[in-house]
Amino acid sequence: MFLQNFSRIWKSEDLKRKILVTIALIILFEFLSIIPVPGVNLWALEQMQKFLEANQWLSFFSSLMWGWLKSFSIILMWLSPYINAVIIVQLLAVVIPQLEALKKEWEQGQKKIDTYTRWLALPLAFAQSYGMIILLNTLLGANVKLIDTWMATVLPAMLIITAWTILLMWLGEIISESWIWNWSSMIIFAWVLAWVPQHIMWYLSVWNFVLPIILLVATLLVIYIIIKFTEWYRKIPLIYTRTWRNEKSYFPIRVNQAWMVPIIFAVSIVTFPSLIGQILSKRASGTWRSMWEFLVNNFSMNNPGWLYILIYFLLVLGFSYFYISIVFNTDEVAENIQKRWWYIPWVRPGKETSEYLAKTSNNLNLYGWAFLALIAVFPYLITKINNIFQFVDVSGGWNIDFLISWAWLIIVVWVVLELIRRVDTELKSYDYKRFF
């Protein structure tokens, strides 16, 4: 079956072209990630690379950025300003009636919102590039600078980083519209796949073959659970009343509507105290130094305290509820159902339908929130239990690797499922065109 589908994919010139160009773009990204920003101090860059390798949290942060941090790459910011702009516009749509009205205008309104998002991403990219330069300069101390902060040096660097960010944003929009998968998801997926082989070899070199096999079985089990959870939804029955017989259908509400977003938000916040503590503890003394060291010791991803785990768990729950309340507008859904002459049995159209959908969504998504939160903190719980009972020796970066290999599996599974759907659609279109 697989070979047959692969043969069909290869016979479809359009689909084959998309896949080959996608692979070429990933290779291009790998190439761009090693090109440093003009004007960088190469000796300071080498010192920063050594510092990042010695610091596990910052090494993890750099790996999330595909190593662009270590090379101070021209694509240092990636799509983060654009992603931040999308989130800001979504939040503003809740409080600004004009943006809320644009969302209801469907395609035309969405085009205007996309335009506002692009314009907002431009100053964000410019500001974030300066912030990243200052942050990286701070890491190495007062006497070592990656880039001089003189305007003549730092301004061209900021403009180059901003220009590449906008170029990536433009490429991303074009590819997402005409390609077989989302641009940002493709990059994250490729990063995870690139991460796997080197860490498997590390596990085999440090441990015997039994523990990697146990991890493999556990990972396959988690993948199965994630697939089931990702595809699980509840069918809300609908009845159409504009025909002589009542036609029946359903409205699906997924358990995991928030996807990976709450975990990403929660990680950004819960690890921030440790980052600030590592930077400021070098320059402080006395009580202030003790306070910063407390943050480093208790909010480090390498060896987090119970306070970190509890806050992380609660943040994932909170962000899940907050994010779903924004993206799943029950008033709008109820209005659209009523406009199309559908109704939910035993529920009045309008406000009562909206309240019913909100209650059903909250009850159902409670399982989704709990699932995401458990996936997020489970590696830490396993490590804490192992530290108490000493089942195995997990020195050498267990927390970081375990976190990536479990939490980021949600992204991998989602991307693969979405890719399968889109390829299947492309193949059906190819078969249809060939038949006619």
Same-domain pairing of 217 and 345: yes
* Residue 187, in any domain of the structure: no
Distances (CA, A) of 370 to 108, 301, 320, 323, 404: 37, 21, 9, 14, 19
**Residues in the chain with pLDDT values less than 70:** 1-6, 8-9, 49, 51-70, 106, 138-144, 175-185, 187-188, 190-212, 243-246, 278-279, 282-283, 300-303, 386, 389-408, 430-436
d(CA 343, CA 381): 45
* Residue 244, in any domain of the structure: yes
Same-domain pairing of 227 and 364: yes
* Residue 201, in any domain of the structure: no
Distances (CA, A) of 352 to 94, 114, 181, 247, 374: 21, 32, 37, 22, 33
* Residue 192, in any domain of the structure: no
* Residue 58, in any domain of the structure: yes
Note the pLDDT tens digit of each residue in 101-129.
887 776 788 788 888 898 999 999 998 88
* Residue 428, in any domain of the structure: no
Half-sphere exposure of 324 (CA within 13 A, CB side): 27
Domain CATH for 276: 1.10.3370.10
d(CA 316, CA 261): 9
Transcribe 301-319 into DSSP letters.
Answer: SSS--HHHHHHHHHHHHHH
Please tell me the total count of domains within the chain: 2
- At 400 the pLDDT is 46
Same-domain pairing of 213 and 354: yes
* Residue 196, in any domain of the structure: no
Note the pLDDT tens digit of each residue in 69-99.
667 788 877 777 887 788 788 778 878 888 8
Structure tokens at 425: 């659609």
Same-domain pairing of 266 and 128: no
pTM over 0.85: no
- The whole domain housing 49 covers 35-178
